[in-house]
Amino acid sequence: MQSPETAEEMLLLAAQAAVDKGGEDLVALNVSEPLPLVDIFLLVTGNSERNVAAIADEIEDRLIESGHKRVRREGRAEARWVLLDFGDLIVHVFHQEERVYYGLERLWKDCPVVPIDVVEPAADAS
């Protein structure tokens, strides 16, 4: 298992990638207490299947470029709920409807929220 610092570094990379591709409503949960093999879940919402796929691809690309190994990926073909497993960080990129339906925040409500510090993309000055 990697260190919690590595999980937080991965979280920041993934969160920034998600925001850069239009990801919304980012929530990070420290799930290390109930799940000893995972430190953090990152939940992200995309507004369409194409957006969900783009967010997932960008997160995956940035983490791999930074030297992190992807253990598993599921749901990319449908792009309604893409799961990216990077060991200590698991990213869930949801379409809006799936996020509400599955309600992972409700399931993991007893887990502490991890603060995420990302830079919002600059608004178009048109």
Residue 124, in any domain of the structure? no
Q: What is the pLDDT of residue 93?
A: 98
The per-residue pLDDT string of the chain (126 residues; one tens digit each, 9 = 90 and over) reads 445 578 999 999 999 999 999 999 999 999 999 988 899 999 999 999 999 999 999 999 999 999 999 999 999 999 999 999 999 999 999 999 999 999 999 999 999 999 998 877 755 544
Is 121 inside a domain boundary? Answer: no
Would residue 122 count as lying in a domain? Answer: no
pLDDT of 2: 47
- Per-residue pLDDT at 117: 87
pLDDT for 37: 84
* Number of domains the chain contains: 1
pTM of the model: 0.90
The predicted structure's pLDDT at residue 3: 52
Q: What is the CATH number of the domain that holds 11?
A: 3.30.460.10
Cβ count within 10 A of residue 54: 19
What are the DSSP E strand ranges found in the chain?
24-30, 40-46, 72-74, 81-85, 89-95, 113-114
User: 103 lies in which domain range?
Assistant: 4-114
Determine, yes or no, domain membership for 91: yes
Domain membership of residue 119 (yes or no) is no
Q: Indicate the residue type of 67.
A: G
